């Protein structure tokens, strides 16, 4: 709205969110195709009181330092905040908010899609049909592994981990998990708690990662830990690419120690390790975890609720610090 405070947005938002934003603010829209540098981000934010960002944007200490003094609010269209140097933002008095809770079901659904795709070789089958190379049904064609009766190990049973456990339970899987502390909700559904990741891994037919990024979880799944999984295990990652050491996972997939993997997140995305593309036994998705219309609208509305609160002197519902 002309004459209203200016808000800069790095990426386009769902239509309903954009319509709401323009009713209250003057808006400078970003370009989905742009990779912002500290200088181009600062130029984009010039004169704005709020800057809406996404996980595709890197706001390290240098980028935060270059933001104009006018910026007071930094809502991110995400739950994770590892793309933002929170210490630098706090030091400058810039409030950061995120969007927890609303993407639980969508992300859990994607984890199950990857689990089914990896275990039932869905990606391979789709590529076979699309290529025109399928010659008809055979008793031994693309034999995979069923979910029922398998043990699913979950690292991190917050909202999403619990939602995955609930879905997997419905498929007949046994649930074990590692968390910083036992989860009463997981215990209620009969899941078994392991205080140590290393102690849990040998019992996992499938391992699914749902922990936040932190110094403790960076490179969590390295060659040593992959070797603790049973031969023929499956690895699913919908959390953060940095949890996995790519060299180690690729080697395990090539050797067959890991039967297959399903990945929605990558180190350095969208520039994933190109070797993954050459592996038939990995199902790759382009960070679709929250990509349903319902979820993205809910995330966008939460971003705008937080923005309105920060710019009108109220405490936001979802402060990061």
CA 215, 221, 226: angle at the middle one, nearest 5? 155
The residue assigned the tokens 């989860």 is 183
Report the C-alpha gap between 65 and 68 in whole angstroms. 8
Q: Kindly name the residue from 11, 18, 225, 269 that is annotated as catalytic.
A: 269
| 127 to 38, 133, 138, 256: CA distances (angstroms) | 40, 9, 17, 20
Known catalytic residue: 124?
no
Q: 3-state class of 178 per DSSP?
A: strand
Tokens of 268: 């350095």
Residue ranges in the chain assigned as alpha helix (H): 15-24, 38-45, 61-66, 86-91, 104-119, 122-131, 159-170, 184-188, 197-200, 223-228, 246-255, 293-311
Candidate list 20, 92, 225, 287, residue with the active-site label: 287
Closest CA to 242 of 117, 116, 55, 104: 55
Decide if 205 is catalytic.
no
What contacts 206, CB < 8 A, 6 or more positions away? 115, 119, 147, 150, 151, 152, 153, 173, 233, 234, 235, 236
Cβ neighbours of residue 314 closer than 8 Å, sequence gap 6 or more: 308
- Give catalytic status of residue 269 as yes or no: yes
Catalytic residue among 178, 240, 243, 296: 240
Which residues form the catalytic set? 240, 269, 287
């Amino acid at each position: 709205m002309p004459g209203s405070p200016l808000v800069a947005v790095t990426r386009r938002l769902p239509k309903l969110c954009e319509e709401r934003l323009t009713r209250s603010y003057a808006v400078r829209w970003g370009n989905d195709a742009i990779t912002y540098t500290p200088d181009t981000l600062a130029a984009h934010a010039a004169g704005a009181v709020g800057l809406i960002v996404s996980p595709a944007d890197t706001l390290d200490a240098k980028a935060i330092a270059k933001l104009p003094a006018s910026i007071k609010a930094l809502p991110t269209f995400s739950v994770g905040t590892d793309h933002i140097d929170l210490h630098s933002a706090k030091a400058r008095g810039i409030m950061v908010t995120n969007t927890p809770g609303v993407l639980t079901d969508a992300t859990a659904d994607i984890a199950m899609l990857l689990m089914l795709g990896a275990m039932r070789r869905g990606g391979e089958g789709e590529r076979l049909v699309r290529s025109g190379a399928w010659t008809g049904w055979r008793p031994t064609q693309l034999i995979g592994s069923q979910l029922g009766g398998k043990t699913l190990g979950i690292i991190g049973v917050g909202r999403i981990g619990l939602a995955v456990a609930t879905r997997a339970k419905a498929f007949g899987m046994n649930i074990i998990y590692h968390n910083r502390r036992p989860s009463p909700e997981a215990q209620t559904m009969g899941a078994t708690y392991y205080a140590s990741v290393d102690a849990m891994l040998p019992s996992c037919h499938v391992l699914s990662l749902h922990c936040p990024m932190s110094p403790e979880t960076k490179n969590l799944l390295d060659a040593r830990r992959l070797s603790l999984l049973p031969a023929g295990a499956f690895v699913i990652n919908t959390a953060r690419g940095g949890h996995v050491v790519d060299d180690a996972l690729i080697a395990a997939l090539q050797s067959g120690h890991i039967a297959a993997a399903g990945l929605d997140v990558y180190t350095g995305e969208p520039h994933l390790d190109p070797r993954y593309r050459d592996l038939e036994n990995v199902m790759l998705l382009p960070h679709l975890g929250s990509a349903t219309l319902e979820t993205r609208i809910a995330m966008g509305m939460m971003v705008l609720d937080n923005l309105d609160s920060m710019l009108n002197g109220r405490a936001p519902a979802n402060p990061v610090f």
